[in-house]
Amino acid sequence: MRKSRTLNLGTGSFVLLGFAALFFLTTQTTSHGLAVFGPAHYQVTAKFDNIGDLKVGAPVSMSGVEVGRVTKIDFDSNEYKAVVLLRLNERFNKIPTDSDASIYTQGLLGGKFIGLTAGGADTYLKDGSQIDFTQSAFVLESLIGQVLASFTKQKADEQAPARADPKATEKTK
Amino acid sequence: MIGELWESLTDALEGLGSVVHFLFRLVVNTPRVLLRFSLISQQIFNSGALSLIIIMLSGLFVGMVLGLQGFQLLQRFGSEEALGTAATIGLVKELGPVVTALLFAGRAGTALASELGLMRATDQLSAMEMMAVDPIQRVVVPRFLGGVIAMPLLAGIFSVIGIYGAQLVGVQIMGVDSGSFWSQMRSAVSLSDVTEGIVKSFVFGVACSLIAVYQGYYATPTAEGVGRATTTTVVTSAVVILFLDYLITAAFL
């Protein structure tokens, strides 16, 4: 009897430890922990022209403080815009309706996140409302394209007068 | 020559067929065994709780090596903060399930195979049949189920200890910022990564336990036969684990 008791105790603690480990893995190492066991929340939508590589689960922050997460990304085929569903913590329920949402990048090559900047309206965002003022993601590739284009243009400008007036370059020698 | 080749091919197919048939017998007997849970709980203790120390020690060192190697590599790109993500994804998806299963085959699989093989060699299984006790129900299925239940739990423990080891080296020794270590991990690791790890370890648990009990149950009833069954268990388990790992990874991609 005594032996079976210690045996059951051993089995029980092993199983408990195992499930504790799995629980830790599913809630603490992933971004889903907040969604499942999170506090009360409300959802708002925002429409963007271009969301870059914004992913579901990306943080929504205000003055650098995380106030919620992106829960769904959809495409509006009438307006040709990306519809982003934001789940905001109920604790932050005083966000003016004319606040604007922009997509920023964490670090140089980090993931995207949504930053909210407070507006001045007296009414606050509530469940189901929409953020009207949005600013698209800053897409690094298009920026690089623009920089390259301006560089080649600059070079061409520099070379053009040199070719037109070869004597001027000879003089400088 | 061609005849020999044909014979070895049919032998291999016959072996595969009898393993599948054996698995079917185990599954059919499972509901009746579930009613006597104390038998299974004893086997969870034997193959799970007794493997805990080797799993935890290995997990700690694998995690510490990951922390060290990952730090060295990521430092070249100036993104040491990604260490948490790299170590966690590596552990949860690949190293946790695979290394746990390999250790499990070595620690618990061999124990199962030699135990059953010795029962076969000393006619204990026949004696049970004489007493109208089905050895499959009384002996084999509890051991099989014990292994299947223990494996995902062991893999989970391995991953958690491994993450702790990576954190120990990366944050405590190498000085990666603790906050960015955890927050980058949280934003980059998705639930499907964890699910993939759990599915893998469950499948490995079925494969490892099945191979071990099959080899033990059908061992040649001699001292040499039991030894051969034990060796075959480890070799076959290792190959099957790595093969299944590739399949599951490809399926989840």
Asked whether residue B185 is domain-assigned, the answer is yes
Asked whether residue A59 is domain-assigned, the answer is yes
Asked whether residue A90 is domain-assigned, the answer is yes
pLDDT of A79 reads 87
Smallest Cβ–Cβ distance between A10 and the set B45, B156, B189 belongs to B45
Asked whether residue A161 is domain-assigned, the answer is no
> Taking CB atoms and an 8 Å cutoff, what residues of chain A touch B157?
17-18, 21
Asked whether residue A106 is domain-assigned, the answer is yes
Contact B186 A29 (CB under 8 A): yes
Q: Higher pLDDT residue, A165 or A96?
A: A96
Q: Are B137 and B73 in contact (CB under 8 A)?
A: no
B163 is in which domain, residue-wise?
38-252
Nearest CA to CA, how far is B247 from chain A (Å)? 23
Asked whether residue B9 is domain-assigned, the answer is no
pLDDT of A107 reads 66
Residue A36 predicted with pLDDT over 90: no
ipTM value greater than 0.90: no
pLDDT of A173 reads 46
A127 is in which domain, residue-wise?
40-144
Asked whether residue B7 is domain-assigned, the answer is no
pLDDT in tens, chain B (253 residues): 788 888 888 888 888 888 899 999 899 988 888 888 888 888 898 888 888 999 999 999 999 999 999 999 988 887 878 888 889 999 999 999 999 999 999 999 999 999 999 998 998 988 988 998 888 888 899 999 999 999 999 999 999 999 999 999 988 888 887 777 887 888 788 888 899 999 999 999 999 999 999 999 999 888 899 999 999 999 999 999 999 999 999 988 7
Number of structural domains (chain A) is 2
pLDDT digits (tens, 9 = 90+) for A40-58: 788 899 988 888 878 777 8
Contact B190 A32 (CB under 8 A): yes
Name the CA radius of gyration of chain A, rounded: 27
Write the DSSP assignment of B55-99 as a string of letters: HHHHHHHHHHHHHHHHHHHHHHTT-GGGHHHHHHHIIIIIIHHHH
Residues A25 and A50 in one domain: no
Asked whether residue A82 is domain-assigned, the answer is yes
Smallest Cβ–Cβ distance between B191 and the set A11, A30, A109 belongs to A30
Residues in chain A: 173
Average pLDDT score over residue span A100-115 = 79
Size of interface A-B (CB pairs under 8 A): 84
Q: Rounded to whole angstroms, how far apart are CA atoms A117 and A102?
A: 8
